[in-house]
Amino acid sequence: MVEKFDAIVVGAGPSGNAATYTLAKAGMNVLQLERGEYPGAKNVQGGIMYAAELEKIIPDFRDDCPTERHIIEQRIWLLGDDSYIGTNYRSDAFNTDAPNRYTIIRANIDKWFSERIRKAGALQICETTVTELLRDASGKVYGVKTDRVGGEIHADVVVMADGVNALLAKRAGLHQELAPQNVALAVKEILFIDPDLIQQRFGLKDEEGVVIEIMGKVTKGMVGTAFLYTNKESLTIGIGCLVSDFKQAGVAPYKLLEDLKNHPVIKPLIEGAEMKEYAAHMIPEGGYNAVPQLTGDGWLAVGDAAHFNNAAHREGSNLAMASGRMAAETIIELKRAGRPMTAANLAAYRRKLDDSFVMKDLKKYRDLPDIMHANKQFFGAYPDLLNGAAHNLFTVDSVDKLTKEKEIMRSFVKKRSFFGLMGDAIKLARAFR
């Protein structure tokens, strides 16, 4: 006999977990399917988790959630060939009982979240891949098919939380292929290191943590960023660039990471660490303009599958959790009102998103991806210019400061015309406005 559920959630990443948990808490009969051997087995995340969204779903998450360190300092570095220029912000005010940001190891979080989900009463099945959506003649989704014998399962609604590739929606013709300029490929490693060394090198105590966001020469002129995060007993280091740029430049991603690790500014920070885990994963970075269709008869898309990612602030998991929660709330409201899961009724989900930070933020940065893509000087010329300028300014060599400033200005204009500089400033200002 074919099993039937109120809802099926495909995927056990942050978006699927948020949806499943919310549905189960509301007493819905929900099934979550995950292809990994266990939740988190296949998932990749750099490792910053934002508390606000998780707190909305699980208010007492801090009681047992296996976070690594709470962040008290943010650095943004622009790397030159052998230097960096950047900003730091550090504040003791981040040392509160309810910190806002944590470094995490994603596999641990997923496992923890899943346990909470099972306790909330959802049925969870792993090592099972959903291969297709079941649709009737009208196109309405009424369930899924898995790779198991007897794998047909029915539900009133299917929540697609299957991540950036969104294969299910694509296979069903609901979503289009991702354009290479709308996805980044990121590689990262977890490096094991003596916690004392972390405390020393980053000036930390107890569970305090630092994040370093990195731009500059390390992406070899491609549109991309890198990062270095402090965990309890490890460091996470990674770098990602647009797939279209990788294709064009013919650079191997792991080589980029190797070069980053060997950069004279980075190397001393990771000295003595041992590689524990290497992973590569895609990030949807097309922004607002790349958001696909979000609902249809009997289905919703959430998280990375819906392209909810704020590349400018490296936020993904919080948008994923927010969208998962809102999808669940929509389903719960319809169910309670006894209304069917039609495209028209499910459209309430889109309205919730529009009213929330998810769509508002994506809209705000809607032009950023295009600007970055069309203006590679942000990733090549500027890092050099800024680092050169700083070097010039901070070298005490009996040249008067006014002359130095003039030299710096001249070097900028030489590399990029005065109007070019002005134009860049305006473009950026607009994108971030």
Ligand X SMILES: Cc1cc2nc3c(=O)[nH]c(=O)nc-3n(C[C@H](O)[C@H](O)[C@H](O)COP(=O)(O)OP(=O)(O)OC[C@H]3O[C@@H](n4cnc5c(N)ncnc54)[C@H](O)[C@@H]3O)c2cc1C
> If binding is defined by CB under 8 A, does position 107 make contact with other proteins?
yes
Binding map of ligand X across residues 88-127, x = CB under 6 A, - = no contact: ----------------------------------------
CA 217 to chain centroid? 22
Q: Which long-range contacts (CB under 8 A, 24 or more apart) does 358-362 make?
A: 358/308, 358/319, 358/322, 358/323, 358/326, 359/288, 361/310, 361/313, 361/315, 361/319, 362/287, 362/288, 362/291, 362/308, 362/310, 362/319
d(CA 310, CA 306): 12
Q: Which of 272, 344, 405, 425 binds other proteins (CB under 8 A)?
A: 272
Q: Which stretch binds other proteins (CB under 8 A): 186-194, 301-309, 313-321, 328-336?
A: 186-194
DSSP 255-278: HHHHHHHTSTTTHHHHTT-EEEEE
Q: How far is CA 236 from CA 283, 315, 342, in A?
A: 17, 16, 43
Binding map of ligand X across residues 48-87, x = CB under 6 A, - = no contact: x---------------------------------------
Contact set for other proteins, span 135-174 (CB under 8 A): 146, 148-153
Q: Which stretch binds ligand X (CB under 6 A): 35-43, 76-84, 254-262, 408-416?
A: 35-43
Q: Which of 8, 22, 25, 35 binds ligand X (CB under 6 A)?
A: 35
In the bound state with ligand X, the residue whose beta carbon lies nearer, of 11 and 224, is 11
Q: How many residues bind ligand X (CB under 6 A)?
A: 42
Residue 388 binds: one of other proteins, ligand X, none (C-beta under 5 to 8 A by kind): none
> If binding is defined by CB under 8 A, does position 105 make contact with other proteins?
yes
> If binding is defined by CB under 6 A, does position 12 make contact with ligand X?
yes
Residue 324: count of CB within 10 angstroms of its CB: 32
- Token pair, residue 23, equals 């549905």
> If binding is defined by CB under 6 A, does position 19 make contact with ligand X?
no
d(CA 39, CA 17): 9
289 three-class SS? helix
| Radius of gyration in angstroms for the set of CA atoms belonging to the chain, rounded to a whole number | 23
Contact set for other proteins, span 303-332 (CB under 8 A): none
> If binding is defined by CB under 6 A, does position 383 make contact with ligand X?
no
d(CA 161, CA 182): 19
Binding map of ligand X across residues 238-257, x = CB under 6 A, - = no contact: x-x-----------------
Q: Which stretch binds other proteins (CB under 8 A): 90-98, 270-278, 324-332, 355-363?
A: 270-278
Residue 38 binds: one of other proteins, ligand X, none (C-beta under 5 to 8 A by kind): other proteins
Binding map of other proteins across residues 44-83, x = CB under 8 A, - = no contact: ----------------------------------------
Q: Map tokens 């369930």 to a residue.
A: 143
Phi-psi category of 129—alpha, beta or left, where left has phi over 0 and alpha has psi -120 to 50?
beta
* DSSP element (H, E) containing 42: none
List residues near other proteins by CB under 8 A. 3, 37-38, 41, 105, 107-108, 123-125, 127-128, 146, 148-153, 190, 192, 194, 233, 272-274, 276-277
